Amino acid sequence: MLQTFTLDRLDAAAGLLHAGGVLAYPTEAVYGLGCDPHDRAAFGKIFALKQRPATQGVLLIAADFAQLERYIDFANVPDAVLAQVRASWPGPHTWIFPRSPAVPDWVAGAHAGIALRVTAHEPAAALCRAFGGALVSTSANPHGESPARSAATVADYFGDALDGLLDAPLGAQDRPTTIRDALSGAIIRA
């Protein structure tokens, strides 16, 4: 049965994530599906819900840079690049970095790098703080459908197949964040 959480129940929502659940939560522009990135079974549930091939990979969202540091291969990131990225965070900017061995292969899919974001959207950041780390973030929609922009749409898409839903406001962005390669600056998703 789909459990609905509000911002005053973030500890319970984080508990669901720690127990292997998949939670839909608001981001800067759309609802995302999230889980513990190190829980392969939970990750598998996300791709089953989305009906999407796991080779596509996902990004990780965090409340602060410290929650993401372990996932970056710093040996291959110039200091100037890191400074530029950090200056854009927290904010609606997703950057692809060379990934460290801490990134589970299933999270990156067929990609050599890992997409990361320190969000400025307070409900998502508060969820990451309550969880105590970075979370998987992929749009809450079945493959080929529009990303959910309301809790009602999330419930319509997934119903009781989804473990939990954080019913809180979306951010002010009108579309998902731009994804850029940190090393080259190339836009991967506009």
Please give the chain's pLDDT, 190 residues, in tens: 799 999 999 999 999 999 999 999 999 999 999 999 999 999 999 999 999 887 888 999 999 999 999 999 999 999 999 999 999 999 999 999 999 999 999 999 889 999 999 999 999 999 999 999 999 999 999 999 999 999 999 999 999 999 999 999 999 999 889 999 999 999 998 8
Per domain, the residue ranges of the chain are 3-138+156-189
CA 157 to CA 184: how far, in whole Å? 36
Check whether the bond before 101 is cis (ω within 30° of 0): no
- Asked if residue 137 lies in contact with residue 58, where contact means CB atoms within 8 angstroms, the answer is yes
C-alpha span between 66 and 176 (Å, rounded): 23
Distance (Å, rounded) from C-alpha 81 to C-alpha 135?
23
Specify whether domain 3-138+156-189 bears CATH 3.90.870.10: yes
Quote the pTM value.
0.95
